[in-house]
Chain A
Amino acid sequence: MPPAVATDRDLRLDLFRGLALWLIFLDHIPSNIVNWVTIRNYGFSDATEIFVFISGYTASFVYGRAMRERGVMVASARILKRAWQVYVAHIFLFVVYLAEIAYVSASFDNPLYREEMNIFEFVKQPDVTLIQALLLKFKPANMDVLPLYIVLLVGFPPLLWLIMHRPTLALASSLILYVLSWQLDWNLPAYPSGQWMFNPFAWQLLFVFGAWCGLGGTQRLARFMRSPILLALAAVYLMFAFAIVMTWHVPGYAHHVPHWLAEFMYPIDKTNLDVLRFAHFLALAVLVVRFVPRDWPLLKLPLFRPAILCGQHSLEIFCLGVFLAFAGHFALVQISDSVVMQVAISVLGIIAMIGTAWLISWYEAVEGRGPGSRRKPPNADLAGGEA
């Protein structure tokens, strides 16, 4: 029996990915009072790190099994098919974005915002805009995660093979690529200028680390993770990050951070997955692994069921979340932006995400390929929680 792969799915992954999807949805609604609850306000990393790490973990878990059972070619084909699905989903969301700016541009003529109206140029020249979007170079606000995921998936087949055969080498190569991308400023170009908001050469580290953990890395790290020194370090680092982030939220406190420390820390680069962000995610992970064991009985509680359901259908729910965030913001602008409305939209959005996840699960169960069915269907990536 290969010790690397667990026999059943780790519900913690689904739970935290589901929660990350909710947080990403909330963060994508601008000026929403409810997004004060999201973790980005209390530390360096945010829900994106959780999402990318768990996506790597589950991808290696699902496709690793496919590679072992069906061979390299079949597993690679499935991964690329998945990348294609994500691409199509991204283009769908792009159309929603275009619809929104086209609608807003038709009536918006406030003289205060002449400069902001330059964004409407993109609808005025659809030839360029559409082609650049299809090439994944033009990526509007909040639409940067899926292109990153597409690139990570396209590069995943050889990497998966490497993780299964030479796990340490795979992790080391990933780290080297990360360092090189920092040293040599590697990134993919964007339109109309600049580079990708999530640099795939840097963010792959988190995805590969997740994939490495999914194929036995967690067992290799188990002793290390139990160390009380590590736990203490993680806790201290989280408190440090919390204190720093608080100085950003309170006007007039930013200069209380010692100059040498500010010089060292800032800017905390999201594009290139700053080491401080990565470390913050690791510290969170250390605490979670410590206090939420894999066989935690509470994981089976109905209370956690909604988040787990969402986490098991991450692509659909992620896309729905981006769409709902657009729709939610639209409602705030058109109807009312009061606090009651903000809370209502946040709650309704999450309910819609849960309802959809439930519906997908129900459909899969009816079709006989759900998490409940024992036999693995050929289409592994859509069954029993996707990659």
Chain B
Amino acid sequence: MKIWVWALIGTVAHATAASAQGNDACAVASHLVVAEAALPRVAAAIAKDRDLRVSVVGTGSSTLPGANGAKMAYPARLEAALALLFPGVAVKVTAAAMPRQTAAEIAQVFPRILVDAKPALVVWQTGTFDAVRGVDPDEFRTVLEEGIVALQAGGADVILMNMQYSPRTESIIALGSYAESMRFVALEREVPLFDRLAVMKYWSETGTFDLYSESKNLDTAAQVHDCLGRLLADLIVAAVKLAEPTKEVR
């Protein structure tokens, strides 16, 4: 009986490993990256100023540890991808990663970011630490809504980015209601949502990346961030196209 069970598990594990030899790692999840709202300010910055400034504000998952961490993290990869997608446009992505901060705490730095970086787009990554702290979902929603209004009033478009998919902590951090709140707020305020949770979950399910690893190794983390940066760039392109449906953006 026992042998049979282990044989079964072995076969299954082998099948999983085989499917992990993915080819285009990022693209398999591209159907999950859908622009449901436009980015008019970004479109204007590209078309008129040929200058695109993006600020990424978020928690610890917007950066990677180590000396080269910031270079490998998705904000830097986003900058590289955008520069390729918008030739002739001066692309600058600045990142402010504030580990262990709730959405409310992060929203407090928005006025400063609007003044210092003058971004046409703010990518607001949030949710994980709020879920860890068990912040009241109503409060979380209100903070998101007010934050988006403040950013838009300051002249920036907004993309919301939700949590990472983390299989090992999945049963101990309840993300559900926070992910839902972010989806509803994005819909209600008509800002695009980068569904990082769904994308990474899909990568894990299809064996693109092994997100179960316990090790300190940075390789997978760097690849994941590279893919996130590229998909985020795709979302921006799609949302810019929505803003100017008649004009070819590229």
A interface, CB within 8 angstroms of B: 28-31, 97, 100-101, 104, 107-119, 140-142, 190-195, 197, 248, 251-252, 254-255, 257, 262-263, 266-267, 269-271, 325-326, 329-330, 332-333, 335-338, 340-341
Chain A residues within 8 Å of B172, by CB: 97, 100-101, 104, 119, 140-141
Q: B139's closest neighbor in chain A, by CB?
A: A194
Min distance, Cβ B20 to any Cβ of chain A, angstroms: 12
Q: Is B118 an interface residue (CB 8 A)?
A: no
Contacting residues of chain B (128-150) with chain A, CB-CB under 8 angstroms: 128-129, 132-139, 141
Q: A27's closest neighbor in chain B, by CB?
A: B176
Return the 10 tightest CB-CB contacts between A and B, nearest first: A115-B60, A141-B174, A194-B136, A252-B34, A112-B221, A30-B170, A329-B171, A338-B12, A266-B184, A115-B61
- Cβ-defined contact, B100 with A118, below 8 A: yes
- Cβ-defined contact, A118 with B129, below 8 A: yes
Q: Are A112 and B135 CB-contacts (below 8 A) given A97-B172, A333-B167, A336-B16?
A: no
- Complex CA distance for A338 and B14, rounded to whole angstroms: 10
- Complex CA distance for A111 and B152, rounded to whole angstroms: 33
Q: Is B224 an interface residue (CB 8 A)?
A: yes
**Which of B31, B36, B167, B181 has a CB less than 8 Å from the CB of A267?**
B181
- Cβ-defined contact, A114 with B171, below 8 A: no
Q: How many residues of B contact A (CB 8 A)?
A: 64
- Complex CA distance for A326 and B66, rounded to whole angstroms: 33
Chain B residues within 8 Å of A191, by CB: 134
Interface 9-residue window, one of B41-49, B75-83, B86-94, B211-219: B211-219
| 5 residue pairs A–B, Cβ–Cβ below 8 Å | A110-B220, A140-B172, A192-B134, A335-B13, A336-B12
- Complex CA distance for A194 and B132, rounded to whole angstroms: 11
Min distance, Cβ B12 to any Cβ of chain A, angstroms: 4
- Cβ-defined contact, B136 with A193, below 8 A: yes
Q: Are A116 and B177 CB-contacts (below 8 A) given A101-B172, A325-B171?
A: no
- Cβ-defined contact, B129 with A195, below 8 A: no
- Complex CA distance for A100 and B204, rounded to whole angstroms: 22
- Complex CA distance for A254 and B193, rounded to whole angstroms: 11
Chain A residues within 8 Å of B136, by CB: 193-195
B interface, CB within 8 angstroms of A: 8-9, 12-13, 15-16, 31-32, 34, 36-37, 59-61, 64-66, 69, 99-100, 128-129, 132-139, 141, 164, 166-174, 177, 180-181, 183-184, 187-188, 195, 198, 201, 204-205, 211-218, 220-221, 224
Among A28, A104, A338: residue with most chain B CB under 10 A: A338
- Cβ-defined contact, B32 with A114, below 8 A: no
- Complex CA distance for A340 and B66, rounded to whole angstroms: 38
- Complex CA distance for A332 and B217, rounded to whole angstroms: 22
Q: A248's closest neighbor in chain B, by CB?
A: B183
- Cβ-defined contact, A112 with B177, below 8 A: no
Min distance, Cβ A338 to any Cβ of chain B, angstroms: 4
Min distance, Cβ A322 to any Cβ of chain B, angstroms: 10
Among B61, B65, B138: residue with most chain A CB under 10 A: B138
Chain A residues within 8 Å of B129, by CB: 115, 118
- Cβ-defined contact, A266 with B211, below 8 A: no
Chain B residues within 8 Å of A325, by CB: 171
- Cβ-defined contact, A112 with B220, below 8 A: yes
- Complex CA distance for A28 and B174, rounded to whole angstroms: 10
- Cβ-defined contact, B188 with A116, below 8 A: no
Chain B residues within 8 Å of A113, by CB: 61, 164, 166, 168-169
Chain A residues within 8 Å of B218, by CB: 111
Chain A residues within 8 Å of B215, by CB: 109-110
